[in-house]
Amino acid sequence: MPQYDAIVIGSGQAGNPLSQKLADRGWAVALIEREHLGGTCVNTGCTPTKTMIASAQVAHYARNADKWGVRAGEVRVDLSGVVARKDRVVEQWRSGQERKVQERKALHLYRGHARFIGPHQVRVGEEVLESERIFIDTGTRPDIPLLEGLGGVDSLDNASIMRLTEVPDHLLVLGGGYVGLEFGQMFRRFGSRVTIVHRAQQLLPREDADVAGSLQHALEGEGLRFVLGATTTRAEKQDGQVALTVEAGGTTETVRGSHLLVATGRRPNTDDLGLQDAGVQTDRRGFIRVNSRLETSVPGVWALGDVKGGPAFTHISFNDYQIVYANLNEGKALTTDNRLVPYAVFTDPQLGRVGLTEKEARAAGRRLKVGTIPMAWVARAIERDETAGLMKLVVDADTDRILGAAILATEGGELVQILHAVMLAGAPYTLLKGAIYIHPTLAEGFWTLMEQVKPVD
């Protein structure tokens, strides 16, 4: 039975860097991966989707070139070419990961499915590996809802939709979260009609209504249709199309399309890991229970990334790796407590977010100052003719520290990182009023935003 200093199950954005860094310290490490190195982010998540979003943005600019005084002519999207470009970018990252693993003699890659047969024993194919330290980074997969008739229709998920080589005539999207919105706008820009059916009364229900409403307005301006507050009761084939029976606003309607994307959430890849044989506890949905140090119920077993639940972002997975590695090898006592997590929705305009929303801050009983400006007040946005969206800041009225921010704008995810840094420094928002901003830039809008921060009831 091969003995290792560490076994890492899954090569996502926590498992991959952790296995490499431990090997660099001289640990004998077994890395187990049943599919491609890099996990969801590299293969079916961040990398391919943002690559295709870039192609969709080019199509959007070309189709609207007249707005900038440019005559582009007829725009035709070659989806097979878009997919080929996406595949090249994915392969570039994937092969880079393969090379990094192969370069490390102390790192042994096992191809296959891992299953616990004891607290510190894992079977891969015919081999049984053993270690006192095991790290689980198996991620998640699409969670397909129990919807009558869904099994009888051809549906797509976030991976299979990126293998299409012809633009759908009419894409139905079940779910209005990050995945549904990003793919919905992408395929609208490729040339599809798009209808998004969403259970909640507003898009992105966690966000403030003014932020979500501004994004919805921008997307509707591009021709996306939304059915909100909707309960979908049935899916079926009708005359060669997919038909969804939807109840919303006291009425029932049938929504028809040529293709259906199911984007209703994710579930953990834990049901076939043999966790019960190891004694590793999960919650009712199958996510692995961990403490603030990412330790499971079994000593010497950790869970990192999406498989443990919580914010499902690549940067959280990477931070999980940083915490575990530092605690193991640098004598630190880092935890996940009070992590300040920025995130983005890669629509256009892009939503960059950090900290509390206004409604969350109000619910916490804070005395607040709030400032909001439309992007139409920002010179650079006007010059680019990209004025959709807004900037919003939520401030603690007693300390003048930033509690949260939403930047719905071109490259909102980049802009919000400035506010994230100010929050990490514990500095008051007034620090940004005294800054000198390059003119003309989108960040220059922060000065105007700070001027609008006022106490609210």
Tell me the CATH number at 154.
Answer: 3.50.50.60
Q: Is the bond preceding 349 in cis, omega lying within 30 degrees of 0?
A: yes
- 260 and 274 both lie in a single domain: no
Weakly modelled stretches of the chain, pLDDT under 50:
none
- 109 and 162 both lie in a single domain: no
- 83 and 9 both lie in a single domain: yes
Beta bridge partners of 372: 392
- 204 and 277 both lie in a single domain: no
Q: Residue 444 gets which letter from DSSP?
A: G
**Domain closes at, from 230, 264, 298:** 264
| Residue at 90 is within a domain | yes
| Residue at 349 is within a domain | yes
Q: How many domains does the chain have?
A: 3
| Residue at 363 is within a domain | yes
| Residue at 156 is within a domain | yes
Q: Is 439 a catalytic residue?
A: yes
**Domain closes at, from 234, 264, 294:** 264
Is 380:371 a contact under the CB 8 Å cutoff? no
Q: Report the pLDDT value the prediction gives residue 457, as an integer from 0 to 100.
A: 87
Q: Distance (Å, rounded) from C-alpha 56 to C-alpha 78?
A: 11
Q: Report the pLDDT value the prediction gives residue 190, as an integer from 0 to 100.
A: 99
Catalytic residue from among 36, 120, 170, 439: 439
- 23 and 80 both lie in a single domain: yes
Q: Report the pLDDT value the prediction gives residue 1, as an integer from 0 to 100.
A: 80
| Residue at 13 is within a domain | yes
- 98 and 202 both lie in a single domain: no
Q: In which domain, by residue range, is 58 found?
A: 3-142+267-329
Q: CATH code at 447? A: 3.30.390.30
Within 8 A by CB and 6+ apart from 381, the residues are 375, 387, 409, 410, 442, 445
Q: Distance (Å, rounded) from C-alpha 10 to C-alpha 113?
A: 9
- 178 and 316 both lie in a single domain: no
- 252 and 227 both lie in a single domain: yes
- 205 and 308 both lie in a single domain: no
- 138 and 273 both lie in a single domain: yes
- 123 and 29 both lie in a single domain: yes
| Residue at 424 is within a domain | yes
Buried/exposed code over 65-79 (b: 16+ C-beta within 10 A; e: otherwise)? eeeeeeeeeeeebeb
- 11 and 106 both lie in a single domain: yes
**Domain closes at, from 249, 264, 279:** 264
| Residue at 114 is within a domain | yes
